[in-house]
Structure formats: structure tokens, C-alpha cells
Amino acid sequence: MKLQSYIVLAFLSFFIVSCGAKKNVVKSSKRKRAKQTEVVRKLPSVKQKEHVKKLAKKSPNLNKYTLTYIKKYAPLAVLKMHEFKIPASITLAQGILESGNGRSNLASKSNNHFGIKCHRGWTGERVYHDDDKKDDCFRKYDYVEHSYNDHSKFLTGRKRYAFLFKLRKTDYKGWAKGLKKAGYATDKKYPKKLIKIIQTYQLFAFDKVRKKDIKRYKSGKRKPVVVVAKTKVSANTKKNLRKLYTVKKGDTLYSIARKNNISVGDLKKINMLKNNTLSIGQKLKLK
């Protein structure tokens, strides 16, 4: 009887372990996520294709992924330059460096091309990656264009970067060194890396594109946008769609700007404010 009991117990233990192993396999397979396919639509030309073709012809050994990135996102960097006064060469070089030409996990899975972390006040989606410390929190975007837009607002909305906007738009060296000085990156060689990318791929050419030139493209009534496969709109995006903000007790222009992803300068300009004085109940336009 004892021998039979041991046999039965052994059989049951084997059956339970086998079932547990099967459950683990199913669980891991569910974690696999379908990769989104990006579609670029109706961005104005800034002669980026001709730029890349000329570079490739002159220097055949240039990184093909970097060339593809330039061809794809140079127009977006130029559009943001005229909107936020940040050199297109700097935005593009940072995108190339921070995202590994758009091929890093953070860029490909979360559309974060500038390595911007969550920081206090971020209410959008987030992902976690090992960086300066284990499981650092990074922002996640629905579209790549949102990443570019947030990068511009990140720089314009923080006081520590204010001195950069006193530089000439063509002073990419000053911007590269200034970003490190302001604490954008911890890498001591960060300015040199940006400058090398800009000079190797002649990104300074995009700093000279005039605003009136980028309007000359055939797109009917459609606005120039970058879109990807449809996803749910994040809470942060919905928040930005609100047209008015009611000032509450304790609010400042800086805190309101941070909550709504807009620079203090733009907030004052839109509402024609001459100083930073606010009153409770005051209505502020966000667009």
C-alpha cells in the first residue's frame, strides 16, 4: 500500500509541474506586442532627399541608417525650428544620437526619440528602461511627431535652457555645449558627439531653410503631419486639446505651462500678458 501511495504521489507531482510549465509559456507569449508600422504623410520638402543623395555620393561610407533618418525627419526638425526657435541641426542631431537613428528600443517601441524622462508633472504614458539607474522612467508617445513637439516644449518651458535662445540660430556649437551645461545629458562628450554628427552630415544646411520656402509643397488643404498606425490617444494629448484653462489658487505661469506642455513665453504671447501676474478664475488660452 505504501509503495502504491508513493507511485500515485509521484505521478501527481509530475502532472502539476508539467501544467505549471505550460502556463508559464502561455504567459510569456501574451507579452509579445505587435510592432507598429509608421507612415509618413505630406511633410513639406526641405530638399532633404537631394541633401542625402549628395552626401552619399561624396562619402559612400556614411551610415545608411543616419542618412535614412535625415531623409525622414529633417522636414519635421525644420518645422519645429520655425515654431520654437531651436536650430534644426541640433534637433536632428539629438534625434539621431538619442534614438540610435530611430532604431533603439525606446524609439521603436515608445516613439521617444530624445530620451526624455518622465520628470515631475508628466501625466502621459510611460515606460521603464535601465539608464542612469535601473528602471528609469521615460515618456511614451503615440506618434514620433509628438516626441519632436515635446522635445521643443521641454527646452522652451524650462528656465535652465533659457540662455540658449539668446544664441544665433546658426550657432549649433554654442547650442551643443549649452545643452550639456544646462544638464540635458551626463555624458561629458555629448557636445562633441552632436557637433560631429552635424558636421559629418552637414545638418547646418537645414538651419538656413527659410519659413516661406517650406510652404512651397503640393498637399492641397492637408496639413503637414507625421502619423502612425492608429492607437488610443493618451490622457496627456486629450488634456492639450482643451482651449481654455481656469487659474486656480497657487497657480503660476510656469506651473500652468508645465501642466499643458507649452512654454511660458508662448502662454504670455497667446494671452497678451505683459507680466506674470495672475488672478484666480482668470481664463487663459492654451492655443
Q: Which amino acid is at 9?
A: L
Tens digits of residue pLDDT in 95-115: 999 999 999 999 999 999 999
Q: Identical fold at 38-228 and 242-285?
A: no
Of 196-205, 206-215, 228-237, give the range with the top mean pLDDT. 196-205
Nearest Cα neighbor of 227 from 91, 35, 37 is: 37
C-alpha cell at 20: 505549471
Domain residue spans of the chain: 38-228, 242-285
What three-state secondary structure class fits 136? strand
Fold that domain 38-228 belongs to in CATH? Lysozyme (1.10.530)
3-state secondary structure of 205: helix
| The CATH number of domain 242-285 is 3.10.350.10 | yes
Average pLDDT over residues 60-81: 95
242: confidence class by pLDDT, cuts 50, 70, 90: low
What pLDDT is recorded for position 158?
92
- Computed over every residue of the chain, the mean pLDDT equals 79
Could you report the per-residue pLDDT of 11-59, keeping only the tens digit for each? 444 444 344 433 333 233 333 333 444 444 467 889 999 999 999 999 9
Alpha-helix runs per DSSP H in the chain? 2-30, 48-58, 64-84, 88-99, 105-110, 144-156, 172-182, 190-200, 235-240, 253-259, 264-270
